[in-house]
Amino acid sequence: MLEKFIKKDSNEILENVLAQKDVDERTKNLLQGILYKIDVSYKDYQNAKVIQRNKKEYVDEINKNIKRKCNKIVTVSFNEKIEEEKIKKSLEKNKFYIDENQIITYPIEEKILYAIEKSINNNKIVNSKYEIISEPLSNLIMTGKSLDRVEVLRDFNGWSWTTIKTEIESISSNLVYQILQILLGEEFMDNWSFDTDGIIDYYSMFKEQISNKYGIENAKKLYEIIEKIAIMNEIEQDIDFKSEKIQQLNEIDNDIKKRTNVEQYITELTEEKKKAEKEIAVIQKILSSEKELKNQYQKVNEGVPIEKKVFSVRVLRQQLNAKKQENLKNIEDINFKLLPYNYVESKEKITQKKNLLETIYYTEEEQKEVYLKFVITFLECFKQEIKNANKDTLLNLIYKFRYYMLIPFNTQDSIKDISELKEEITEIEKELIKIGKKEKIVSKEVPFEVWTHIFETRIIDLKELYYKIFAEYDKKYFQLFDENISEEKFIINNIEKNKINKKIKIFN
């Protein structure tokens, strides 16, 4: 009864929100259809991911997002003629278009929901002090958040769980976000992605929390790899990004070359400082006298085309003050660089920037290596979770590890399919079954050859999972199943003491 009331309440809230928006009838029906499908699928989604957020909270967030940002939502037919080129290109590429005033989308429920989530994205959730990674990392996290929000609609339908990898707009964003959500929890990732201005330094908090939970070494590996992934991801999404970073890299290379001759480097900085001090003295002299200021005004406007003239003496004063502040800041930076300790620290920082920016030249093989290191580091962190597990938390870890194994690594493979990860994955699977049997969560009869396959099954409720070993001709096979679904058969070599044709429950 309560479930029906919540469903009715959510639909009424959506209707009230849409009544204040510019939304046509077809779009309203599609949005109601989204709520219906979420209602049917959410329980399976929640169980498969072992998440805390309930269905009402999830749907309320959709309604809030529409209310907060989406003033106009338009669905267009696939054969509808689109005049504006940028809208046309976006629809062809993404199946939706977003600007400050509207969402235009094809009548695909998943794309409508994804566009709504993308419309509230903020590319400033990483503080600007992190410079070159601030925007790329913000985009990586926010895209991952949007993909996380549509997963229930995209992969679940109330009776099955299917992930079509090519339907995920950014495999890398999804991979990073899902791993961080497993390591840090939903609440932290929600708070980070809902940040509006980057003033709260969530990136620093992320580093601190990872260090506290999994050790400084793992934390350092994770954030260094994530920064590289953010750069690689941005290159894919923004065609101008790579050329901008090539220019930055050239500037850094020039700076590093200057630093190789310390004496010459110090001389050049000292000369630059003297030049800035002279400019400040000249500006100060002009600003201190109205007569000097007026003379300078006439001088800068003499023989200059009208479009380049300084508008007034007041504007000139503002320009001179701005130039003075620029020089003062430059002197401050030079003084900082000239201190011996800061010189060494500055050199280290610029080398780190160079190493990060060189990611733009990575080959496909080098990029794969970055993702492999990311996953391996996560697995090291997950091992620590297992060490701290008890009877009450172990089953959740088994569910989370199964979900993690099914996360797409690329457009063809899930993580469990990657041969380079086999050794680390097997080690964790063995540890989970050992503790599971010890705590009497897992049936003592379950052989490892069966156990390893539960981490690739999409039968959602693992607690209701059975297996049966049977013979066909001269080979032995086993099959996983619950009351409704039987999965493909697998060859089993070591049947230990298992009986043939006996239905055995995997979890006690």
- What is the average per-residue pLDDT within 324-329? 89
What are the distances in angstroms from CA 26 to CA 66, 74, 114? 16, 9, 17
Mean pLDDT in the chain? 88
Q: How far apart are CA 126 and CA 381, in angstroms?
A: 23
Is 445 or 145 the better-scoring residue by pLDDT?
Answer: 145
Q: pLDDT tens-digit profile of 449-466?
A: 889 999 999 999 999 998
**382-393: average pLDDT:** 91
Q: Which two tokens stand for residue 272?
A: 């630059």
Residue 478 pairs in a beta bridge with 469, 490
Measure Cα distances from 408 to 16, 36, 46, 48, 117 in Å.
38, 27, 19, 15, 21
Banded model confidence at residue 436, pLDDT cuts 50, 70, 90: very high
Domain segments of the chain as ranges:
1-120, 122-238+375-388, 248-338, 403-505
Q: Quick one: the chain helix, strand, coil %, rounded to 5?
A: 70, 10, 25
The string of pLDDT tens digits covering residues 337-377 is 777 666 666 777 888 888 999 999 999 999 999 999 999 99
Edge to edge, the sheet with strand 486-491 lists 486-491, 475-481, 466-472, 503-505
pLDDT digits (tens, 9 = 90+) for 57-95: 999 998 888 888 788 888 999 988 888 898 889 999 889
CB-CB neighbours of 8 under 10 Å? 10
In the block, which residue shows the tokens 């046509």?
A: 24
Return d(Cα 399, Cα 393) in angstroms, integer.
10
Looking at residue 314, its pLDDT comes to 84
Looking at per-residue pLDDT, the higher value among 13 and 259 belongs to 13
Q: Residue 132 pLDDT more than 80?
A: yes
**Is the pTM of the predicted complex or chain greater than 0.85?**
no
